[in-house]
Amino acid sequence: MDNDPALLPERLRTMPSRLLAQAGGYAQRTSADALAAFGLRHHHYALLAALTEFGPASQSALSDRTGIYRSDLVGALNELAERGLVARSPDPDDRRRNVVNISTAGRQQLRRLDTALRRAQEQLLAPLSGPDRQRLLDLLGRVLAGRAH
């Protein structure tokens, strides 16, 4: 929202859920723009990151690890496979399933994406000092951890 915050009622200016939603929207757009420069989206990045961190996985395991709905996951994997960033192969334990693995090109692309996203995070948090950034991360982590209880 580009409106002057001073023009908003105080109830809105100080409502945590509204502030978090606005900051979250800005954060999503900033990251999405960084990924779009490579013709990719958040789902693609999440899949490449999960495959790098956890190794080859079934589509079901990838869905569980990334939170991507299975119906969306198949399309995202198809797009990554078309670009040579991942490969599917039959699961040796269950030939009805595929195992997805990240390719060398996928690992290289992930490094480029990490760099672009680091820059996007820097842009997002530019108004904050280093200690303030860490405090924000700690506080947001606590808010999210609290929702599990």
Give me the mean pLDDT over the 49-55 stretch.
97
For position 1, what pLDDT does the model report? 45
CA–CA gap between residue 94 and residue 105 (Å, rounded): 27
Give me the mean pLDDT over the 93-121 stretch.
94
Q: Looking at the domain assignment, is residue 5 inside a domain?
A: no
| Structural domain span for residue 67 | 51-117
CATH number at residue 81: 1.10.10.10
Q: List 57's β-bridge partners, or say none.
A: 100
pLDDT band at 4 (very low <50, low <70, confident <90, very high): confident
Place of tokens 């040579």: 84
pLDDT band at 6 (very low <50, low <70, confident <90, very high): confident
Tokens of 89: 């192969």
Q: Looking at the domain assignment, is residue 16 inside a domain?
A: no
Residue 2 has pLDDT above 80, yes or no: no
Residue 3 has pLDDT above 80, yes or no: no
For position 11, what pLDDT does the model report? 86
Q: Looking at the domain assignment, is residue 57 inside a domain?
A: yes
For position 146, what pLDDT does the model report? 82
The two beta strands, 94-102 and 57-58, are antiparallel
Q: Looking at the domain assignment, is residue 75 inside a domain?
A: yes
Tokens of 145: 């951890």
Give me the mean pLDDT over the 90-105 stretch.
89
CA–CA gap between residue 9 and residue 1 (Å, rounded): 14
Residues for the chain: how many in total? 149
Q: How many domains does the chain have?
A: 1
Q: Looking at the domain assignment, is residue 84 inside a domain?
A: yes
pLDDT tens, residue by residue, 68-84: 999 899 999 999 999 99
